[in-house]
Amino acid sequence: MNHYQLIIHVDDKQVVLERILQVTRYRGFLINGIEAKVNTGTHIGTIKLQISSDRPIELLIDQINKLIDIKDVSVDNNAVAPT
């Protein structure tokens, strides 16, 4: 099982967090933790998602990137993987 932290920037739109969580679960990733906040000035949200799976992370990144309200997705290589 590989552990990752994704950093996702989103437009502050309806149910964008639900969409990300649905895609993450459906594509075979376990959600271990989440932080989400919105910059009320820019209306851009930042979501940090701690996830784990045996599947390649690139497959999930591609699927999240397809969601309409996503600005960008990246893997936080500095995040400490759970032991």
Q: Which residues bind another protein (CB under 8 A)?
A: 14-15, 18-19, 22, 26, 56, 58-59, 62-63, 65-72
Select 56 or 82, whichever has its Cβ closest to another protein: 56
Select 68 or 80, whichever has its Cβ closest to another protein: 68
Q: Nearest approach, Cβ of 83 to another protein (angstroms)? A: 30
Q: How many CB atoms lie within 10 A of CB 69?
A: 15
Select 6 or 83, whichever has its Cβ closest to another protein: 6
Q: How far is CA 63 from CA 77, 78, 82, in A?
A: 20, 23, 24
Q: CA torsion, points 38, 41, 42, 45, in degrees to nearest 10?
A: 0
